[in-house]
Structure 1
């Protein structure tokens, strides 16, 4: 993979550049948000590893700007271990996963492998289905002219369905998409999230586009 690493700790960047390079990845790094935005917009990368604590602008702002510019490169956000609020804001801004500092290289490699297994986004900037519009650039979901407020988890589930229409999606796939390869969530958490998502979108469990495939998972029919 071609990886862009954004962290203001130059020593950490150099350490990870060596470790990731030995694992077969090609790494470039920058230590401020402006440089990272430039590199991400002008070069092709498979993954952006983005620290929240950058000197000029925080990583959440950088992630939000890249998504607004239509850049769909996978983003792995680095956060402080006790900063739950930052994790939620990072996911809301468009991050695909997060990793708490300090971390072991083995855990980083596992997160990267999990992101590699995810299918690439195949969604148009705006998709309309079953009475709602899904804007992959602004991260807004609307029913008519009314914006539907979704949590970060609900949005990511809807995004996963819309980018994989007609595909069987298991609960395990959704758990990994939401929380990474090391997820310890129980399966009924997914069922509860989908129930709430259907309610907010006005999609009936039986006649709506998200079909429950008993014993298998779910599928979005468009």
Structure 2
């Protein structure tokens, strides 16, 4: 399940992203509430988690939430309230949130609410992506080819899913860092090469007919071997 996490508190955003990824969710992170409006009714996300911090005025956050619904974006939305005040929760629910949770939540409750809202998402269908003889099972993180299969870890899956959705497109290391490691302040650009190497070994192990090519000075691309 793909989740859009909107949170401008860097520390909390990183913790939530790590928690979700450990529970096998694919997470994209945005720090500006209005970023959710970019996707329109055909949103690729199955759930939006909308964080509100003290540095973002509640009126601005709620107006963004209202605009989401006015734009017919029906994706289930979990609103993380900045306080425990019931008035804030009522206002968020009346504006269009499907569920609310104060930021003093326990991780187990947070995950339970994410699972519950995920079940409501009418757009969530286990998906298989195929290129040549190789298939990526997006619900189980399985990469298979020639009657062999191998399981990917969360970060490997995120990279491979991007390559499978956009074959032959070149992704720069900087783009991959910004997309998948934006909340990891300890990661450097070398992590990209490390994970690309992992994926190449796994593609070779299952006798895949696709490969990740290095385009000198540009980046990486998934192509027919």
Higher relative contact order (CA 8 A, sep 6+): 2
TM-score by length of 1: 0.49
TM-score by length of 2: 0.49
Structure possessing the higher radius of gyration over alpha carbons: 2
